[in-house]
């Protein structure tokens, strides 16, 4: 066998090995990115469900809660009042209008049945609501709720965040909010917006 043939076979094997290594490296990075995206999508869905529950809790109780047991109990057994409002306007003898509103409570509906319909939230499971999906050991979302001062007025604020980010690029010290661990709300402003939105 000639030296040229030996070199050709040797470099062919090396080229095939490099091609396989490059393909494997690129493919594993793509798979890792796709896995992170899938897991973060589940976490975002869970955060949206928590936001729905907290918003309902605020509407009924006048404040958010940072107690998972209270929130879960509210979702499980809480009720919304169904009210009917009717506005009346009566023109008085001297031409002015008198307006009044009558409010009538016509029934109640369960929070779970009202907020978490299977058609909208097929993955809703009350027992796993506080937990970050896909994380072992089971880890609860960090939840904070309190009143903050805004221009001399005390207002309700909430923040719920993932304490163990799946994506290694997400860091609490990052200056961009979209690169911080997934969360909704804020400890400094009145918002329930998520940093993924």
Question: Along the 197 residues of the chain, how does pLDDT read in single tens digits?
Answer: 677 777 777 777 877 777 777 766 676 677 777 888 888 889 999 999 999 999 989 988 889 999 999 999 998 888 877 778 888 888 887 878 888 888 877 777 778 888 888 888 888 888 888 999 988 888 899 999 999 888 888 899 999 999 888 877 777 777 777 778 888 998 888 888 888 88
Provide the whole-model pTM. 0.74
Instruction: Give domain status of residue 90, yes or no.
Output: no
Instruction: Give domain status of residue 196, yes or no.
Output: no
Instruction: Give domain status of residue 154, yes or no.
Output: yes
Instruction: Give domain status of residue 21, yes or no.
Output: yes
Number of domains in the chain: 1
Asked whether the CA dihedral 32, 37, 38, 42 is positive or negative, the reply is positive
Instruction: Give domain status of residue 85, yes or no.
Output: no
> Domain span at residue 172?
3-68+116-185
The values of phi and psi at residue 57, to 5°, are -60, -45
Instruction: Give domain status of residue 103, yes or no.
Output: no
Instruction: Give domain status of residue 77, yes or no.
Output: no
> Residue 17: how many CB atoms within 10 A of its CB?
10
Q: Measuring CA to CA, which residue among 44, 35, 33, 37 is closest to residue 196?
A: 44
> Residue 18: how many CB atoms within 10 A of its CB?
10
H runs (alpha helix) in 62-160: 68-77, 111-115
Instruction: Give domain status of residue 109, yes or no.
Output: no
């Amino acid at each position: 066998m000639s030296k040229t043939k030996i070199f050709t076979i040797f470099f062919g094997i090396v080229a095939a090995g490099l091609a396989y290594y490059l393909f494997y490296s690129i493919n594993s990075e793509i798979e890792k990115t796709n896995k992170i995206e899938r897991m973060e999508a589940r976490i975002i869905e869970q955060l949206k469900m928590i936001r729905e529950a907290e918003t309902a809790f605020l509407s009924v109780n006048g404040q958010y809660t940072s107690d998972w047991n209270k929130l879960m109990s509210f979702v499980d057994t809480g009720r919304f009042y169904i009210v009917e409002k009717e506005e009346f306007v009566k023109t008085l003898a001297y031409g002015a209008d008198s307006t009044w509103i009558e409010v009538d409570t016509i029934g109640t509906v369960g929070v779970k049945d009202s907020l978490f319909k299977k058609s909208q939230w097929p993955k809703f499971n009350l027992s796993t609501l506080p937990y970050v999906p896909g994380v072992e050991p089971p880890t609860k979302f960090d939840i904070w709720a309190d009143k903050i001062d805004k221009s001399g007025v005390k207002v309700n604020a909430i923040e719920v965040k993932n304490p163990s980010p799946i994506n290694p690029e997400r860091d609490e010290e990052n200056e961009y909010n979209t690169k911080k661990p997934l969360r909704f709300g804020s400890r400094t402003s009145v918002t329930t917006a998520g940093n993924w939105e």
